[in-house]
Structure 1
Amino acid sequence: MLRRREFVVSSLALLGGALPAGHAFAQKDYPNRPIRLVVPFAAGGGVDVFARVLAEKLKETKGYTVVVENRGGANGAVGGGAVKQADPDGYTLLFSAATHLMAQQVMKNAPYDPIADFTSIARVGEAPMLLVMSPKLPQKTIAEVVADAKKQPDKWTFATAALGAPGHLATVAFNRLAGLKLMIIPYRGTAPGLTDVAAGNVQLMIDPVLALLPMAQGGQVRGLAVTSAKRSALAPDIPTAAESGLPGLEQATWYGVWGPKGMPADIVTTLNAAINESIKALAQEGRLAKLGIEPVTETPAQFLEFSKKDLARNTELLKSVGFQPV
């Protein structure tokens, strides 16, 4: 009897040792406790708003308890690093924008590979961005801003939520299209940068419509243009970049959910299905449209393939202007 028990224990030990690191047996009752959804930026920005809307809908549609946790800093790398180091059990996830993919392109010592060190779970939406300006300045169009900036470049500075963020990439594109090299200052998320624009400490900012439009509509900042081919239904009075004097400035942001590397495939499938169901429900209710977001529902494999192509495209954009990681 003793030998039989020893044989069983030894066999189980060998079986466990043969499993790839991080690939634990999935829980059939997943999830049976709260899921931590890490947002790598300060509260109040576009990523944070969308994350909280999705968390709420996951509770309504699937009964999941999802706790949103803001872990800002280092262009999103603080929050991303926390998720990378977490157990790959599906209870710690990352909700971020395209910013996540650019860590190695904008940081000299990036703490992770944003694709290889994470599990792609679901891409959930995309949205145009908005260019806003301090209301303390007289310019009304991009053409007027560019004309003045060419005469007085030191007078104009851009705020950005983070290096590598979609707004940062759109700002790089703005400079290239306008023939300018205006300074770009990174912040710890959208909210603090937007506050400085409203105060006149920084003159310009590009970020998702859902994050900037409320203050533009309230008059705290001036909405100059949307970075899309046509005007936004949320703000039909704000022209496109082409209409405002800068043809070619068409940039969008997108949002996704990742987990640590090595998550069990069945948990990834469960999460992807739950998230897609919630996104479809939010779209049908019109809640995404109110945020200026187009819904996206993809498989994990489609999300991964999209990410690789997006990374290559934006890496080329940064190289074209000689951007150096900091």
Structure 2
Amino acid sequence: MLDRRDFLVTAAAAAAGTALGAPFAGAQNADFPNRTIRLVVPFAPGGGVDVFARLLAEKIKEKNGVTVVVENRGGANGSIGGAAVRSADPDGYTLLFSAATHVMAKQVMRNPPYDPVTDFVPVARVGEAPMLVVMAPGLPFKTIREVVADARNQPDKWTFATSALGAPGHLATVAFNKLAGLKLTIAPYRGTAPGLTDVAAGHVQLMIDPVLALLPMARSGNVKALAVTASKRVALAPEIPTAAESGMPGLEYASWYGVWAPKGTPNDVVAWLNKACNEAAVELGATGRLAELGIEPVTNTPDEFARFIAKDVQRNTELLQSVNFEPV
């Protein structure tokens, strides 16, 4: 699991408006915000990133009286939506809501249209969640151990879907292959929903993605849940074993979610957005909305988020290098 201890804060701190040391706003943009904020999601509607973005947008609107609209701009491994935000005016009215996928663009794409670290301002990391390993419903296997045993004998019959290269689910899939000593094909999709649809139809056999995106399909029987990528069972789905219990110790990965602004966005605007995001995340956690989706709220300052990104990129770059991953 990603290390969350340094980044979680109490609801009381956020409710008090401390914003973890960030100033509330400066005189330069004292009237911010005074119009609609666009929250760009770089994936198709219906996936985990989209669901969380809409909850956050709704809560920010409710608490601050500002309209926040979610705009889906999927495609090109999330870079179409990212490029739209990068080229937007750095005024705080066009933001990116994404997962760890965003910061790995340089590691998984040969010609990324931007530098995901230096071309954006980290605003806030707002949540993280364990992921779920699911399988096509028509297959007879019940554990990761059984899947690996069959895949070793018939590797050509097994393919993983992934929502995007560099996404947490993709990185967990790379780790799955490494731990199993396999090289199963990984097929990238334009977000979670289309990949999950193909798993349910049996066109591909496996997928790893956040619990919030996959659990409804697993509970309905449209896909089979094999394990969660956590060190212990999750409260949302205690009936699903951990990866270790299912036969793959060491498969521990979490998805995380954050908000970015274009490079050059004024510090006081970033501070206002950081406070709004922190308060929204804490309240969504307190009301149980995030728990229903398997997400744990996270709050931090922009500087803490930047340090977290650096650590996460280093870890995942080392994973990709260890299996000789080539950008596409």
Partner residue in 2 for 1:60? 62
Q: How does 1:54-133 map to 2 (within 5 A)?
A: 54-133=56-135
Could you say what secondary structure the match of 2:324 adopts? coil
Q: How does 1:115-194 map to 2 (within 5 A)?
A: 115-194=117-196
Question: Partner letter of residue 271 of structure 2?
Answer: T
Measured against aligned partners, the alpha-carbon deviations of 1:116-174 in whole angstroms (never above 9, x if no partner) come to 00011000000000000000111110000000000000000000000000000000000
Partner residue in 2 for 1:245? 247
Q: How does 1:254-293 map to 2 (within 5 A)?
A: 254-293=256-295
Question: Partner letter of residue 313 of structure 1?
Answer: R
1:43 aligns with 2:57: no
**Aligned-residue offset at 1:257:** 0.1
**Aligned-residue offset at 1:60:** 1.0
Counterpart-to-counterpart distance in 2, 1:272 and 1:107: 29
Identity of aligned residues (%): 74
Could you say what secondary structure the match of 2:145 adopts? helix
**Aligned-residue offset at 1:62:** 1.1
Q: How does 1:190-229 map to 2 (within 5 A)?
A: 190-229=192-231
Residues 26 and 267 of structure 1 are in contact (CA less than 8 Å); yes or no, is this contact kept in structure 2? no
Question: Partner letter of residue 28 of structure 1?
Answer: A
Counterpart-to-counterpart distance in 1, 2:42 and 2:28: 27
Measured against aligned partners, the alpha-carbon deviations of 1:227-275 in whole angstroms (never above 9, x if no partner) come to 0001111111110000000000000010000000011000000110111
Counterpart-to-counterpart distance in 2, 1:118 and 1:252: 23
Question: Partner letter of residue 226 of structure 2?
Answer: L
Unaligned runs of 5+ in 1: 1-24
**Aligned-residue offset at 1:296:** 0.5
Residues 26 and 89 of structure 1 are in contact (CA less than 8 Å); yes or no, is this contact kept in structure 2? no
Partner residue in 1 for 2:11? none
Measured against aligned partners, the alpha-carbon deviations of 1:84-132 in whole angstroms (never above 9, x if no partner) come to 0000000000000000011000000011110100011000000000000
Could you say what secondary structure the match of 2:272 adopts? helix
Counterpart-to-counterpart distance in 1, 2:90 and 2:132: 36
Counterpart-to-counterpart distance in 2, 1:304 and 1:252: 18
Normalised TM-score (structure 2): 0.91
Could you say what secondary structure the match of 2:290 adopts? helix
Counterpart-to-counterpart distance in 1, 2:62 and 2:225: 35
**Aligned-residue offset at 1:26:** 4.1
Residues 76 and 162 of structure 1 are in contact (CA less than 8 Å); yes or no, is this contact kept in structure 2? yes
Is 274-283 or 253-262 further displaced after alignment? Answer: 274-283
Unaligned runs of 5+ in 2: 1-26
Counterpart-to-counterpart distance in 2, 1:182 and 1:204: 10
Normalised TM-score (structure 1): 0.92
Aligned residues: 302
